[in-house]
């Protein structure tokens, strides 16, 4: 795929804003849970986590290694999970992606998707263990939520690629 050429005299984004855009898009994904969904079940995919993984997998230098801790802290404050859960799990997901990436060579989108699926499933399962007692009947809902999240990852990747196109060149 060839990238469309940028207009000749158009300036790229200033570096401050270019660095801010990934953060802002992940925070916006976290804020999606505060909209009035009024659901009796927790089926909304963790959009902040999806955006963060998409940034990590498509534009590896856009977020620093310490970014997921702060982004996860904000996600915990709005999502209702115990504080620190996303902070820990998102950082671990980041390191997991890092480790899998170090062992994969040239990869296509399907492999990125598979890596994201593993990270999403582990992070969601960890969040369930931290938040709810083992006796709660939330596992079926959790599996559906993970499947929805994995299916939604290409959309998040599309959005991230679009923002990155505006941002990086």
Closest distance to another protein from the beta carbon of 143 (Å) = 12
* CB-based contact 124:46 (threshold 8 Å): yes
Closest distance to another protein from the beta carbon of 166 (Å) = 19
CA nearest to 57, candidates 140, 161, 169, 162: 161
- Residue 64 or 158: the one with the smaller Cβ distance to another protein is 64
Closest distance to another protein from the beta carbon of 36 (Å) = 4
CA angle 100-93-27, nearest 5°? 130
- Residue 111 or 159: the one with the smaller Cβ distance to another protein is 111
- Residue 6 or 109: the one with the smaller Cβ distance to another protein is 109
Copy the structure tokens of residue 66. Answer: 């310490």
CA angle 17-23-27, nearest 5°? 130
Count of positions (residues) in the chain:
169
Copy the structure tokens of residue 72. Answer: 């996860």
Judged by the rule CB under 8 A, the positions of this chain that interact with another protein are 31-47, 58, 60-61, 64-66, 68-70, 72-73, 77-89, 91-92, 94-95, 101-102, 104-109, 112, 127-128, 130-133, 135-138, 140-142, 145
- Residue 21 or 49: the one with the smaller Cβ distance to another protein is 49
């Amino acid at each position: 795929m060839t990238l469309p050429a940028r207009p000749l005299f158009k300036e790229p984004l200033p570096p401050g804003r270019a660095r801010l855009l990934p953060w802002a898009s992940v925070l916006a994904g976290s804020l999606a849970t505060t909209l009035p969904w009024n659901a009796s079940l927790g089926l909304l995919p963790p959009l902040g986590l999806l955006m963060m993984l998409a940034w990590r997998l498509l534009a590896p230098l856009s977020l620093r290694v310490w970014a997921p801790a702060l982004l996860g802290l904000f996600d915990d404050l709005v999502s209702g999970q115990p504080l620190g859960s996303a902070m820990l799990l998102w950082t671990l997901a980041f390191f997991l992606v890092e480790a899998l990436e170090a062992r994969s060579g040239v990869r296509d989108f399907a492999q990125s998707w598979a890596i994201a699926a593993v990270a999403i499933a582990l992070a969601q399962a960890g969040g369930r263990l931290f938040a709810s007692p083992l006796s709660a009947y939330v596992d079926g809902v959790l599996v559906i939520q993970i499947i929805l999240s994995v299916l939604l990852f290409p959309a998040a990747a599309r959005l991230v690629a679009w923002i990155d196109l505006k941002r990086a060149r």
